[in-house]
Amino acid sequence: MVLDLTASSVDLTRAICDIPSVSGDEKTLADAIEAAITPLTHLEVFRHGNTIVARTDLGRAQRVAIAGHIDTVPINANLPTRDIEIDGVPYLWGRGTVDMKAGTAVQLKLAAELTDPAIDITWMWYDNEEIEASKNGLGLLAAVRPDLFRADFAILGEPSNGEVEGGCNGTLRAIVRTTGVRAHSARAWIGENAIHRAAPILTRLAEYRAREVPVEGLLYRESLSAVRIAGGVAGNVIPDACEVEVNYRFAPSKSAADAEAHLRGVLAGFEIEITDAAEGARPGLDAEIAKQFVAAVGAEPRPKYGWTDVARFSALGIPAVNYGPGDPHLAHHDEERVPLAQIDAVERGLRAWLTSR
């Protein structure tokens, strides 16, 4: 596969979306990115697995890290991409157009063209963002090359409708269990039904009211939801076990420990196993470099409700924001599509800031 980095950001989005790269199968796209970037003499290029890093070394006073993941969730008859129009607005439709290959395409184009930026740039394109954190290419890179993460500011090209979304909520997953006693369903009174015992869990979650938490001028909305339920043995057996998987999205003012304590309080009396937790990221918009970025792109900062890899930079003390084309509500959707105008607008915004002196 050959990528033409002289093409428009829109055409480049088409090209990289049409190279399937479901999590775990990014090698073909990573090879194409490496092949396109390596000949550019103004960039130092590094590769770790299917993560590609390219950076300038111009001795500028400050450095920004700009990152984008190259994997997608599974394809569901939504590739190859195609051009569509809705209410007179042209879109590019297909898997990855929103999450987040349009943002990655903008980054690739700018990486090729900005040979003399006003600030040093570390570009990062990484794999396995859509699956478990242990396989995340950015996290694996940080473990072996922490020096590549030195920066004064970071931008993730996650979809934000072309606006700036500061920080992100944290996320916690847990399994809540109930137990019972098996019996023949014809004599249900002999057993104890574990699924019935899960009813109070669902009631508490259904009655839970999401909190809105102000953090550094942005209002983050939390959520606490049942996302999966499992139980049962056979159609004629009273079940002796039931599991309810719960996902808590919490404001970045809380730590993961705070979130766990809150979850255990809401579901007190039940057996709870925490299976995954990731800290959120505070907005970091009070940093001077962040203020300059927001002013240059002409955006109104908003909170990011979903978890993104801005949290990895925030944990290192680096203020980080999300800035990319595409409606986050259409991420992972079978009708995933991005307005062409947003791709161009994000390119203009990033270019303006990176070249302003």
In angstroms, the CA 105 to CA 8 distance is 9
Nearest Cα to 251, choosing from 304, 213, 284, 307? Answer: 213
Q: Is 222 exposed, middle or buried (0-12, 13-18, 19+ CB in 10 A)?
A: buried
Per the annotation, the verdict on 286 as an active-site residue is no
* Chain segment 273-321, per-residue pLDDT in tens: 999 999 999 998 989 999 999 999 988 899 999 899 999 999 999 999 9
Per the annotation, the verdict on 129 as an active-site residue is yes
- Triad 66, 68, 73: Cα angle to 5°: 165
In angstroms, the CA 302 to CA 219 distance is 8
Residue tagged active-site, from 71, 130, 165, 336:
71
In angstroms, the CA 280 to CA 169 distance is 5
Residue tagged active-site, from 129, 165, 336, 347:
129
* Chain segment 182-238, per-residue pLDDT in tens: 999 999 999 999 999 999 999 999 999 999 999 999 999 999 999 999 999 999 999
Q: Give the global pTM.
A: 0.89
3-state DSSP helix/strand/coil percent for the chain, to nearest 5?
35, 30, 40
pLDDT at 1 over 80: no
